[in-house]
Amino acid sequence: MIKKPVFLLLVAILFLDSCAMLQSVVKSTFPYTATMIIPASAKVDEAQNAISTGNSFDQDFTKDGNNASRISEVRIISAKLQSSDPSDYNIGNIASLRVYMAKNDGSEEVMVAIRKDIQPNAGNSIVLDIDNSHFLDELVRQPSVRIRIAYRLRKAATTDVSLKVSLGIGSHPTN
């Protein structure tokens, strides 16, 4: 029979070892989202940009005050674009787009998603092709993250359009 102090020590060791896995799961559960505005004045077939701040439910990736030091190799694992206002806006009015992530001042920008071939009848939601070749550890540990989309319109909008970009992130536990 295991004595109570030894048992408690084993439980504590298992718990502390699982913190890295728990933090990895938590950080991977909540996506970064950003609301992008495409103005009605945006020109068709010209390169355009929209910039917003990315937000996440569990936005605290800093190493001070939590277990973020227990995760590493943060990458994009999914990306989605959805119209929010008007909710029935056809994303097929956009011919192509790229999504970038950067520090709040725009430095260290990296492309995280792309869609070159948006079909004209795409509807109000599309999945983007991810570029997970970059580790985003330093970017997501910033107090705020800048999300930029570079897009080319196929068809002009009659009103300003609000789009929601959702970037799912994944991380690995460190030892």
Burial 98-116 (b: 16+ CB within 10 A, else e): bbbbbbeeeeeeebbbbbe
Q: Please give the pLDDT value at position 23.
A: 47
Categorize the per-residue pLDDT at 3 as very low, low, confident or very high, splitting at 50, 70 and 90.
low
Which tens digit of pLDDT belongs to each residue from 28-69?
456 889 999 999 999 999 999 999 998 776 554 444 444 456
Q: Containing domain of residue 38, as a range? A: 4-173
Average pLDDT over residues 18-28: 47
- Count up the domains in the chain and report the number: 1
Q: Whole-model pTM?
A: 0.77
**Contact present, 171 and 28 (Cβ < 8 Å):** yes
DSSP per-residue codes, the chain: ---HHHHHHHHHHHHHHHHHHHHHHHHHHS-EEEEEEE-TTPPBTSEEEEEEEEB-TT----SSSSSGGGEEEEEEEEEEEEEEESTT--GGGEEEEEEEEEETTSTT-EEEEEES---TT--SEEEPEE---S--HHHHTSSSEEEEEEEEESS--SS-EEEEEEEEEEEEE--
d(CA 48, CA 97): 9
CATH of the domain at 66: 2.60.120
With tokens 């999504």, the residue in question is 99
Which tens digit of pLDDT belongs to each residue from 97-146?
999 999 988 898 999 999 999 999 999 999 999 998 888 877 777 778 89
